[in-house]
């Protein structure tokens, strides 16, 4: 078989040149200056391969709040509604458990699993051909009684030309709202690679995306924060108008991180410095930031902040409450761990719209500084190793683990006879974070996948790889800062390595833990550990100041 090339698996298989032509005639597309695009990725190519036209009927749900998605939508015609509050009930959203294997289907793996490592049935690749990047289903869920929903829920209207989903697609955060079609609508779905190209090469789109963000998603985002949840529409708008967007760190932070690990040194971009005067509260939109304080001749990590956390609120609030006190400098520093999206809410806005109506912040990060250094050595280590990114890290208690490899065998038994993690990894005290996919909050592995084979499971938010569309380019494996994706040379049933007939080089596939997607009973490794030594850990549970402001 031939090695797939970039765009050989277009996002929409039915996109025709005609479609591209007519798209280019749309005013919002026509405004894009095609000349700014490099030769290897022309605008038409982006439209041709990174977008697809999808149609929704009235009531169809387009995106669901809490879903992970990696594409943005441009409304071509029709109108959509974004549900602001209250949330739609889960059953209306049509949420259900992804089709899991039945008991006997799962049991059948006992004899269907291969004794030869990494066996693939190549006919599957041929018969499936090269499908579009994401593994999206064509089935839709629709709302039966749209007027009732409109009656009972506060909604905002999205009309022709509206772009949505770009924040989720670019920031790799879950969808913040549910959007459904109010009447029949046609949407242009742009996968995040395409969106990235458009935002990268077109200044208009960059502004537009930011603007759209400010107009549409920002308020909902602000409303999610405790600070702004009580504001009325008018005040919220006032706040939204004044909020500033900032990004710190490189988009490909993992590369810098790996380099830093090898060289042993590296500077994290400082977002706010201890001792400086804050001019506003910093809200983390995406990514992770380290909260630190000077300790001896170094910086002591107190905690880290993830999406939704904010920084500097305590200091600003006390300064507002006690205007006589001159000391309002920041007690801690904030630095970017990789790529961080920040919303800076200026102090005057807060003083006008927020502080008079809010309860005083209960705890501050400074509270943590009172504990001995040894107590948060674990935190320091987790931040240093960027394990804070993990939502499902495999942590093994080495004082319980008898090294029996039951977890590895269990993993193999649920993955066609092949383990999907390696029972080694970085250790701290008696904890070992094994080389198993952590299903990161900020999954850098998904950056750069040319076909979108690596994606988030819509149902579970786990990061999974579609073996069929994986082209074995190893981009994800190399991106993963934790070395948790492994490339394997695939074999046929006879155990012979499958090679590309043109080059004689073996065909590789990226493999990793899929958190036993589709297997009944959750991750087999946890179930298989006889000593309860192995756990899948969300690192925020180790964070003592998760709720700290």
Partner 1 sequence: MIRPMTLPFIVLGLATFALVAWYSRVVGMQLGNPAIVTGYTLFVLMILLGLFNMRKRLSMVPVGRSSLWLAFHVVAGVLAIAMFWLHTGALWPTGLYEQVLAALFYLVSITGIFGYLILRALPRRLTQTGIEVIYERIPAELGEIRDKVEALTLECTEKTGSDTVAQHYIGTLNWFFRRPRFGFSHIVGGDAAGHWLRGPGSAARRYLNDVEKGYFDQILELGTLKTQIDRHYACQDLMKKWLLLHVPLSISVILLSVWHLLLVNVYAL
Partner 2 sequence: MITDPDRFKQDKSPYERPNFPYRCGRIGLWSKPCGRGPSSEGACGGVADCRPFLDNGRWSCRRSSRSGGVCEEGPKPDGTCSHQHPPCKPMLSLRGYRGRLTFLAAALVIALISAFAFYGGGASAISSVDPGQLSGGHENFTAKKGCATCHTPHGSDPVGWFKASWSPGSLSQACESCHAFSGPATAPHNEQFKSAGAQKATECTMCHTEHKGMGEKITQMSDSQCSACHEKQFKSFSQGHPNFSKDYPSRRRTAIAFDHTSHLTKHFENKRFVDKAPKDRCISCHNVTKASRNVPVRPFEESCARCHESQISKRELVLFTLPEFEENPFDMEAVGEACGPTAEAREAAGDQFADLTEKLANLASGGANPVAAAALQAELAALKGQLGFGELPDSGEEYESVSTETLPPTATFLLGLEDGEDVEAYSEPVRDLIMGTIENGHEALLAALKGRGDANTLLNDLSPELLRGIGCAWAGNVEYEAPTDAVSGGWFADALSLRYRPLRHADPVAKAWINLAAVGGEGVTDELRDMLLSRSEGPGACTKCHSVSQVAAKSEKLSIEWAFGGQSKQRHLNYSHGPHLNLLGPGASCQSCHKLNQKADYAAAFKQQDPLKFESNFNSIENETCTTCHAKGQVRQECTLCHEYHNGNKFKRRMTTTNAKH
Our CB check for partner 2 shows the closer of 263 and 297 to be: 263
Task: Report the interface residues with partner 2, using CB under 8 A.
Answer: 115-117, 262, 405, 408-409, 412-413, 417-426, 435, 477, 480, 483-489, 495, 499, 503-506
DSSP code at position 396: E
CA–CA gap between residue 469 and residue 481 (Å, rounded): 23
98, 170 Cβ separation under 8 angstroms: no
One DSSP character per residue, 342-383 reads EEEEEHHHHHHHTGGGSPPP---GGGGGGS-GGGGHHHHHHH
Query: Which does residue 507 bind out of partner 2, partner 1, none, counting CB within 5 to 8 angstroms by kind?
Result: none
One DSSP character per residue, 215-229 reads IIIHHHHHHHSGGGT
Residue 326 CB-density burial (10 A; 0-12 exposed, 13-18 middle, 19+ buried) = exposed
CA–CA gap between residue 292 and residue 332 (Å, rounded): 6
Query: Which does residue 117 bind out of partner 1, partner 2, none, counting CB within 5 to 8 angstroms by kind?
Result: partner 2
Task: Report the interface residues with partner 1, using CB under 8 A.
Answer: 103, 106-107, 109-110, 398-406, 409-410, 413-414, 423-424, 427, 430, 432, 519-522, 524, 526-533
Our CB check for partner 1 shows the closer of 101 and 214 to be: 101
Query: Which does residue 495 bind out of partner 1, partner 2, none, counting CB within 5 to 8 angstroms by kind?
Result: partner 2
Query: Which does residue 427 bind out of partner 2, partner 1, none, counting CB within 5 to 8 angstroms by kind?
Result: partner 1
Query: Which does residue 503 bind out of partner 2, partner 1, none, counting CB within 5 to 8 angstroms by kind?
Result: partner 2
At its nearest, how many Å lie between partner 2 and the CB of residue 500? 10
At its nearest, how many Å lie between partner 1 and the CB of residue 523? 10
At its nearest, how many Å lie between partner 2 and the CB of residue 525? 13
Our CB check for partner 2 shows the closer of 155 and 435 to be: 435
CA–CA gap between residue 54 and residue 52 (Å, rounded): 6
At its nearest, how many Å lie between partner 1 and the CB of residue 432? 6
Question: CB count, 10 Å around CB of 292?
Answer: 23
At its nearest, how many Å lie between partner 1 and the CB of residue 97? 14
Query: Which does residue 526 bind out of partner 2, partner 1, none, counting CB within 5 to 8 angstroms by kind?
Result: partner 1
Our CB check for partner 1 shows the closer of 239 and 533 to be: 533
Q: What are the strands, taking DSSP E only, across 192-332?
A: 244-248, 270-272, 280-295, 298-305, 310-311
Name the token pair of 263: 């060289």
Query: Which does residue 489 bind out of partner 1, partner 2, none, counting CB within 5 to 8 angstroms by kind?
Result: partner 2
At its nearest, how many Å lie between partner 2 and the CB of residue 269? 25
DSSP code at position 537: E
At its nearest, how many Å lie between partner 2 and the CB of residue 243? 41
Our CB check for partner 2 shows the closer of 281 and 526 to be: 526
CA–CA gap between residue 308 and residue 394 (Å, rounded): 25
At its nearest, how many Å lie between partner 2 and the CB of residue 110? 12
For residue 378, give the nearest of 549, 547, 537 by alpha carbon. Answer: 537
Query: Which does residue 483 bind out of partner 1, partner 2, none, counting CB within 5 to 8 angstroms by kind?
Result: partner 2
Measured over the CA atoms of residue 203, residue 206, residue 210 and residue 212, the dihedral's sign is: positive
At its nearest, how many Å lie between partner 1 and the CB of residue 415? 9
CA–CA gap between residue 124 and residue 120 (Å, rounded): 8
SS (H, E, C) 205-217: HHHHHHHHHHHHH
167, 217 Cβ separation under 8 angstroms: yes
Count Cα neighbours of 356 within 13 Å in the Cβ-side half-sphere.
7
User: CB under 8 Å to 364, separation ≥6 — which residues?
Assistant: 314, 331, 548, 549
Our CB check for partner 1 shows the closer of 398 and 489 to be: 398
At its nearest, how many Å lie between partner 1 and the CB of residue 377? 15
Q: Residue holding tokens 């700014």?
A: 36
Query: Which does residue 9 bind out of partner 2, partner 1, none, counting CB within 5 to 8 angstroms by kind?
Result: none
Our CB check for partner 1 shows the closer of 78 and 419 to be: 419
């Amino acid at each position: 078989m031939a090695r797939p090339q970039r765009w050989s698996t277009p996002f929409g298989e039915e996109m025709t040149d005609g479609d591209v032509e007519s798209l280019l005639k749309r005013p919002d597309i026509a405004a894009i200056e095609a000349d700014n695009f490099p030769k290897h990725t022309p605008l038409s190519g982006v439209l041709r391969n990174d977008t697809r036209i999808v149609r929704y009927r009235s009531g169809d749900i387009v995106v669901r709040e809490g879903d992970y998605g990696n594409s943005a939508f441009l409304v071509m015609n029709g109108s959509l509604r974004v549900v602001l509050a209250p949330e739609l009930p889960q059953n209306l959203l049509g949420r259900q458990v992804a089709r899991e294997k039945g008991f006997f289907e799962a049991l059948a793996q006992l004899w269907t699993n291969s004794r030869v490592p990494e066996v693939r049935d190549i006919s599957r690749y041929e018969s499936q051909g090269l499908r579009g990047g994401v593994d999206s289903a064509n089935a839709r869920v629709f709302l039966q009684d749209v007027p009732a929903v409109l009656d009972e829920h506060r909604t905002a209207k999205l009309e022709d030309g509206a772009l949505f989903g770009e924040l989720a697609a670019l920031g790799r955060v879950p969808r913040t709202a549910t959007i459904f079609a109010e009447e029949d609508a046609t949407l242009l779905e742009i996968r995040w690679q395409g969106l990235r190209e458009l935002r990268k090469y077109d200044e208009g789109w960059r502004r537009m995306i930011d603007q759209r963000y400010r107009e549409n998603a920002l308020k909902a985002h602000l409303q999610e924060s405790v600070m702004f949840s009580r504001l009325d529409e008018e005040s919220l708008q006032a706040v939204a108008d004044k909020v500033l967007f900032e990004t710190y760190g490189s988009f490909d932070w993992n590369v810098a991180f790996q380099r830093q690990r090898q060289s042993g040194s590296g500077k994290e971009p400082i977002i706010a410095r201890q001792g400086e005067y804050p001019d506003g509260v910093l809200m983390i939109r995406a990514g992770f930031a380290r909260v630190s304080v000077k300790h001896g001749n170094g910086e002591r990590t107190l905690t880290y902040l993830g999406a939704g956390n904010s920084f500097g609120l305590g200091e600003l609030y006390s300064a507002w409450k006690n205007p006589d006190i001159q000391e309002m400098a920041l007690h801690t520093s904030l630095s970017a761990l990789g790529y961080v999206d920040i919303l800076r809410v200026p102090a005057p806005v807060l003083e006008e719209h927020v502080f008079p109506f809010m309860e005083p912040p209960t705890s501050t990060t400074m509270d943590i500084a009172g504990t001995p250094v040894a107590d948060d050595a674990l935190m320091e280590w987790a931040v240093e190793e960027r394990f804070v990114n993990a939502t499902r890290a495999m942590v093994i208690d080495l004082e319980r683990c008898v090294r029996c490899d039951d977890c590895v065998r269990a993993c193999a038994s649920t993955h066609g006879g092949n383990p999907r993690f390696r029972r080694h990894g970085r250790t701290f005290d008696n904890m070992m974070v094994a080389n198993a996919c952590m299903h990161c909050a900020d999954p850098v592995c998904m950056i750069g996948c040319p076909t979108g084979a690596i994606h988030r499971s819509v149902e579970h938010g786990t990061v999974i790889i579609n073996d069929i569309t994986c082209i074995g380019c190893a981009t994800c494996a190399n991106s993963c800062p934790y070395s948790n994706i492994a490339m394997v040379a695939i074999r046929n049933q006879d155990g012979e390595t499958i090679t590309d007939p043109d080059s004689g080089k073996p065909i590789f596939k990226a493999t990793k833990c899929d958190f036993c997607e589709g297997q009944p009973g959750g991750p087999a490794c946890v179930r298989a550990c006889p000593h309860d030594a192995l756990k899948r850990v969300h690192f925020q549970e180790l964070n003592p100041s998760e709720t700290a402001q």
